[in-house]
């Protein structure tokens, strides 16, 4: 198929079909043709803004597979930096007990730098950016820093405090029970996300937030 024929072929496609082509096209193999697809996509958006708005509205909650990809990407980033931290720490002469404490706190620092800081500033992590999803408030406007902090910290902060100060669990059985309950709720969160019509987790419902996708944002 010549470039002219391919261009005419693309112009007959809907937004959904063009996005699917963008998502499965091998950019590295044929960057010139990829740019043709992008050009047709952008032209179609400018020529039919109403149609694009309807398409974007229809697919905005289709986030589950993208969120899984985003979480895996963020986890890889954490593993990479954690591995570097372990490598550096083992090169330094430290007592074993102190080294274990240092690495435990280092994991909390990595979570803050890789997950919390980007979420607080942009409403998305690097993994979410690559996957084309972002956190909004329940009315689908920009989320506030307070909402972002509440959503990200509601399950993590109590676990971090217990991780940093494990002796707190020895002070009261109530704290132990609370920690176990919170862990159980966090484990159930993916089930809630799957069955909710907008794929919100319990933390989203509490923070009044929702994760939405951007059409063709990840390509």
> Which domain, by its residues, includes 53?
3-59
Same domain, 197 and 135: yes
Q: What is the pTM of this model?
A: 0.73
Q: Does residue 141 lie in a domain region? A: yes
Buried b / exposed e across 10-34, counting CB within 10 Å, b at 16+? beebebeebbebbeeeeeeeeeebb
Over pLDDT 90: what percentage of the chain?
Answer: 40
Q: Residue 188 — pLDDT band, cuts 50, 70, 90?
A: confident
Domain membership flag for residue 188:
yes
From residue 60, how far is each of 142, 177, 217 by CA, in Å? 14, 38, 12
Q: Is residue 218 part of a domain?
A: no
Residue where a domain terminates, one of 59, 82, 97 = 59
Q: What is the pLDDT of residue 196?
A: 92
- Contact partners, residue 86, CB within 8 Å, separation at least 6: 103
pLDDT at site 112: 85
Q: Report how many domains make up the chain.
A: 2
In a domain, 86, yes or no: yes
In a domain, 219, yes or no: no
Please indicate, yes or no, if residue 169 is contained in any of the structural domains.
yes
Q: Give the whole-angstrom CA distance, residue 102 versus residue 86.
A: 10
Instruction: Judge if 55 and 68 occupy the same domain.
Output: no
Q: Tens digits of per-residue pLDDT, 11-56?
A: 999 998 998 888 888 888 888 889 999 999 999 999 999 999 888 8
pLDDT digits (tens, 9 = 90+) for 145-162: 999 999 988 877 766 666
DSSP labels for 26-89?
-TTT-HHHHHHHHHHHHHHHHH-HHHHHHHHHHHTT--HHHHHHHHHHHHHHHHHHHHHHHHHH
For residues 71 and 24, state if they share a domain.
no
Q: Hey, what are 138's tokens?
A: 């329940």
Mean local confidence (pLDDT), 102-113: 78
Alpha-carbon distance of 204 to 213, in angstroms, equals 15
């Amino acid at each position: 198929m010549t470039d002219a024929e391919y261009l005419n072929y693309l112009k007959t496609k809907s937004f959904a079909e063009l996005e699917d082509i963008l998502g499965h096209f091998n950019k590295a193999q044929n960057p010139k043709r990829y740019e043709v697809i992008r050009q047709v996509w952008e032209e179609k958006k400018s020529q039919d803004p109403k149609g694009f708005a309807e398409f974007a509205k229809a697919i905005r909650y289709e986030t589950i597979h993208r969120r899984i990809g985003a979480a895996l990407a963020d986890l890889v980033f954490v593993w990479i930096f954690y591995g570097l931290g372990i490598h550096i720490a083992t090169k330094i002469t430290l007592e074993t007990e102190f080294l274990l404490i240092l690495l435990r706190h280092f994991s909390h620092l990595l979570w803050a730098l890789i997950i919390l800081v980007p979420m607080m500033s942009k409403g998305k992590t690097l993994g979410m950016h690559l996957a084309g999803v972002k956190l909004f408030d329940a009315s689908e406007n920009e989320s506030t820093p307070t909402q972002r902090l509440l959503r990200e910290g509601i399950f993590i902060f109590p676990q971090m405090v217990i991780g940093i100060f494990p002796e707190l669990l020895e002070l009261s059985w109530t704290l132990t029970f609370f920690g176990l309950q919170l862990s159980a709720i966090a484990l159930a969160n993916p089930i809630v996300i799957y069955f909710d019509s907008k794929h919100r987790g319990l933390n989203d419902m509490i923070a009044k937030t929702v994760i939405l996708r951007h059409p063709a944002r990840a390509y």
